[in-house]
Structure 1
Amino acid sequence: MRLLSKVVRDPAGRRHFWGWLNAVFNRVDYERIKTIGPDRAAAEWLLRCGAQVRFLGFERWHRDYNGLPTGPLGRHKIQGIDASESCIMSRGFDHLEGLQHLEEVKLTKCIYIEDTCLERMSSMENVQASLRSLEVASCGNVSDKGVIALHKLGNLQRLVLRDLPGVKDREKSLERLQTALPHLDITDDL
């Protein structure tokens, strides 16, 4: 006797599954943050989602979740984040709270990055105080609203904006940023 089964291939269904799984990866566990500290918890989140982190005092980027540096809790501080092609999304950005040494963030080809991510990151006092360099490129869900929200990053020295099709009024957005942050070096190819 032969069993026949029909396999239904639904690209939308698979995408829905991956979106759900990525949402799980981005879930914030506030108890874990209290237990292990914000830097370790953020590093775990970022690596789980396919990003890389660089710790203060280290030159190399960490990509392997199991290769995170060990030692006393709170010893290793995140200095850089390269979230290129990762699945980080708005719901995970609470992990950035408490990162006191974050100087560099790169968001390239991040399909879940949207205005709310940039607004949330820009509203965090710790990020406002420490972030010096930001790159946002090929993130199709970022619009003028998200770019303009970056004006709160008062210590930002370098901003790269590239391939953001959602930005419709380039001149107005860049003018608002430059007015708020006259010392900011902006490289754009919108």
Structure 2
Amino acid sequence: MRERGTIRCKGGSGSDEPVVVLSESRLILFFLHQKSVMLFARFVHPLLTIQKPSLGGYRHFWSWLNAVFNKVDYERIKDVGPDRAASEWLLRCGARVRYLGLERWQQDYNGLPTGPLGKYKIQAIDATESCIMHRGFDYLDGLEHVQEMKLCKCIYIEDACLERLSKTVNLQRSLLRMEIISCGNVTDRGIIALNKLKSLQYLFLSNLPGLKDKQATLEILRTARPSLQMELDLE
């Protein structure tokens, strides 16, 4: 019986090469240790063309892979601390982070800094065009120093993500600035939930077609958080 959460692949149609079974964890390690996009493409292409899947098949594969990248490893959080574990999750999903006291953004997974446990604290998150999704948001719970967050062109960010984020106690205390840009699945409900971020000082909203009642939504935010500075680029 094939292990749950594994895929089977071989060199291609008619190939005599043995079938290889990869578990989710091994697949992640394989991708993260390849620096060449061509190697990634050479691996994935035969995998997807063996049975000539439909467009839906491709979408299913990428959805599955992104879900794997967002799977929370609670043992890893215990072993290396919340900031390191969250950094690995964010970079694995295509985001980048900046650490407290440092100016340089970290976006290379293989270049994550090493040092004593808890040395590097995440101060800012830029999730532009990343695949972070609600499933991985438990990684945020232990972060105590995040002051800035940018969600831009994140196809998996939806209302449930913003609601979950807004209920995270540490983020309620630390988050000062937030930008939400071109996230098509965000609606009025998700934006209204941001009123729970009691330390938030600045909010930038741009190109959010899911907002259907902008005036009412913004009025709710202004009433709940009168000191919140909002910059809007909404049609």
Normalized against structure 2, the TM-score is what? 0.77
User: Alpha carbon RMSD of aligned pairs, Å?
Assistant: 1.3
1:106 alignment partner AA: K
Residues 55-96 of structure 1 deviation map (CA, whole Å, 9 limit, x = unaligned): 001101000011111100111000000000000000001100
CA 1:90/1:6 → structure 2, altered by over 3 Å: closer, same or farther? closer
Residue 40 of structure 2: aligned partner: none
Runs of 4 or more above 6 Å deviation:
none
1:48 alignment partner AA: R
The answer to which structure, 1 or 2, has the higher relative contact order (CA under 8 A, 6+ apart) is 1
Is 1:59 aligned to residue 103 of structure 2?
yes
Pick from 1, 18, 21 the counterpart of residue 65 of structure 2.
21
Matched residues, percent identical?
64
Mean Cα deviation higher: 178-187 or 126-135: 178-187
CA 1:7/1:37 → structure 2, altered by over 3 Å: closer, same or farther? closer
Distance across 2 between alignment mates of 1:180 and 1:6: 55
Is 1:103 aligned to residue 147 of structure 2?
yes
1:8 alignment partner AA: K
Secondary structure at 2:220 match in 1: helix
Distance across 1 between alignment mates of 2:52 and 2:105: 41
Residues 36-62 of structure 1 deviation map (CA, whole Å, 9 limit, x = unaligned): 110000000000000000000110100
Distance across 2 between alignment mates of 1:79 and 1:189: 26
Distance across 1 between alignment mates of 2:76 and 2:230: 37
Is 1:178 aligned to residue 222 of structure 2?
yes
CA deviation after TM superposition for structure 1 residue 6, in Å: 8.5
Distance across 2 between alignment mates of 1:134 and 1:34: 28
- Map residues 4-19 of structure 1 onto 2, 5 A cutoff: 8-19=52-63
Residue 135 of structure 2: aligned partner: 91
Distance across 1 between alignment mates of 2:132 and 2:118: 23
Pick from 141, 160, 168 the counterpart of residue 212 of structure 2.
168
CA 1:11/1:175 → structure 2, altered by over 3 Å: closer, same or farther? same
1:131 alignment partner AA: L
Secondary structure at 1:187 match in 2: strand
Structure 1: 5+ residue runs without aligned partners? none
Normalized against structure 1, the TM-score is what? 0.95
CA 1:118/1:6 → structure 2, altered by over 3 Å: closer, same or farther? closer
Secondary structure at 2:106 match in 1: coil
Distance across 2 between alignment mates of 1:188 and 1:175: 13
CA deviation after TM superposition for structure 1 residue 8, in Å: 2.7
1:94 alignment partner AA: D
CA 1:6/1:85 → structure 2, altered by over 3 Å: closer, same or farther? closer
Secondary structure at 1:15 match in 2: helix
Pick from 102, 106, 116 the counterpart of residue 72 of structure 1.
116
Pick from 159, 163, 172 the counterpart of residue 119 of structure 1.
163
